[in-house]
Structure 1
Amino acid sequence: MLTRSFFAFAAAVTLTLIGAETARADDVPSPNGDVILTVSGDIATTNVGDTLQFDRATLTDLGLTTIETTTIWTDGTQVFEGIPLATLVDLLGIEDGTLNATALNDYTVEIPVSDAVEGGPIIALLLNGEEMSVRDKGPLWVVYPYDASDAYQTEVIYSRSIWQLDRIEVVE
């Protein structure tokens, strides 16, 4: 009897987890506006073919967070708003590997998935409350909370702070 109950419980948990994964994927609709970020590679969640594409509204719907920090590229403290990299990594269903982040001009940097921690970098959509134009490092900029820790004030971290981001490929 106990064995039968255990298997019934395990089956219910498995179906619940599969349903949760499906619901998570369904929560990211195909973009209606201009696509500003395309994610490809080894990902669990897609919405257009084998990619996950975002327009500004779809990306914003993931939930914005704010980082107030100085940068080596701007003057004074700036206010960045964007989605936590950890949120995106969780949505993609990945736990390790590398994010090859590429800018509009095809410049690419490698960001380890291990950087995607709570209170860590964001994919910024807004700078001081305004959308960023391509001329001003937009539409997306990977920003770390540089002032939060000396660990975020290194050449390695600065090199990962790619602006004009438009695509990410997840690789193992």
Structure 2
Amino acid sequence: MLADSFGQAQPLPLPSPAAPILSVHGSVARANADGAAHFDLEMLRALPATRLETTTAVTDGVRRFDGVLMRDLLAHVGAQGKTLTARALNDYAIEIAMEEFDRFDILVAYEMDGEPLLPSDKGPLWIVYPRDRHAELQDIRFDYRWVWQLRWIEIR
């Protein structure tokens, strides 16, 4: 988390008013509006990027995803809690234990195979698990946590 010389958390910059794509609400130490952290794509791209190659339950073959590790995003906003609820544009929502983001390199992807994720095809953001690296992640219970069209995260 970024802090000033007195150790106080610095507020996040504001996203482009026309282009916010992700809002993180709840127990966050860094916010930029109404106690929440709002991001546009450029703000997410400014965070450390990670690439993950894996199969998915809804696409063919191994796909390449680029994005930011969920744990890095949560650290960036100073998230404190035991669970998060990820919610999609279509209001699909699922609760995920925060400890999963420390155990696995779970990505908030904004690209697949070098192309931006679009709302018409699982974008603009998709939670992607490294399912090919961990046999336990190939269980159908984890497939429900791959939230595509991710738009909101609530930390509790």
Question: TM-score if structure 1 supplies the norm length?
Answer: 0.82
Cα shift at 1:135: 1.6
Aligned counterparts of 2:22 and 2:47: Cα–Cα separation in 1: 13
Cα shift at 1:17: 8.6
Q: Which amino acid in the other structure matches residue 31 of structure 2?
A: T
* Structure 1 residues 118 and 130: CA distance shift in structure 2, 3 A: farther
SS at match of 2:102: coil
Tell me which of 158, 161, 167 is aligned to 2:143. Answer: 158
Q: Which amino acid in the other structure matches residue 112 of structure 2?
A: L
Partner of 2:14: 30
Which structure has the greater CA radius of gyration? 1
Tell me which of 125, 128, 143 is aligned to 1:143. Answer: 128
Cα shift at 1:95: 4.8
SS at match of 1:81: strand
CA deviations over 1:117-149 (Å, ceiling 9, x no partner): 265101000001111111210000000011001
Q: Which runs of no fewer than 5 residues in structure 2 stay unpaired?
A: none
Aligned counterparts of 1:120 and 1:18: Cα–Cα separation in 2: 31
Aligned counterparts of 2:30 and 2:5: Cα–Cα separation in 1: 13
Matched, 1:63 2:48: yes
Aligned counterparts of 1:52 and 1:106: Cα–Cα separation in 2: 19
Q: Structure 1 runs of 4+ off > 3 angstroms?
A: 16-21
Asked if the contact 2:69–2:106 (Cα under 8 Å) also holds between the matched residues in 1, the reply is yes
Partner of 2:57: 72
Aligned counterparts of 2:104 and 2:4: Cα–Cα separation in 1: 27
Cα shift at 1:21: 4.5
Paired residues in the alignment total: 153
Asked if the contact 1:89–1:113 (Cα under 8 Å) also holds between the matched residues in 2, the reply is no
Asked if the contact 1:89–1:116 (Cα under 8 Å) also holds between the matched residues in 2, the reply is no
Choose between structure 1 and 2: higher helix proportion.
Answer: 1
Q: Which runs of no fewer than 5 residues in structure 1 stay unpaired?
A: 1-15
Q: CA RMSD in A?
A: 1.8
Partner of 1:123: 108
Matched, 1:93 2:75: no
Asked if the contact 2:27–2:80 (Cα under 8 Å) also holds between the matched residues in 1, the reply is no
